[in-house]
Amino acid sequence: QSTCVGIGGDPISGVTFVDILEKFENDPDTDNVVMIGEIGGTKEQEAAEYIKSEFTKPIAALIVGQSAPPGKRMGHAGAIITGSAGKAEEKQNALSAAGVSIIPGPGAIGDTLKELVS
């Protein structure tokens, strides 16, 4: 592990997944990336677009909050699902289409990354 970054999930933040992925893309000490996103918002889909066109390193993603009921506030404003864009399935589909390995749950992070880089 070379770097760990937490960007938060509120609608307005100082840094995005794309900002961080650009840094990781240019970091010689970063060989692969585990991205952990959550329900609500579209930051993960924006990251998927960047990954599809610019990112060259192996990457896996976990989207948390998959069992949250639509419209329920989950601790902060960014984790409210409104429409389909904020749903875990939509985020996973966008990331998968960009070539990202989808991690099915927290307990599978290690195995998924091991499989990704082997």
Q: Catalytic residue numbers?
A: 76
CA neighbor of 79 nearest in space, from 89, 90, 68, 91: 68
**How many CB atoms within 10 Å of residue 9?**
20
Reference 32, options 92, 99, 105; nearest CA is 99
- Whether 36 and 5 have beta carbons less than 8 Å apart is answered as no
Alpha helices in the chain, H assignment, sequence order:
17-25, 43-53, 88-97, 109-117
* Amino acid sitting at position 81: I
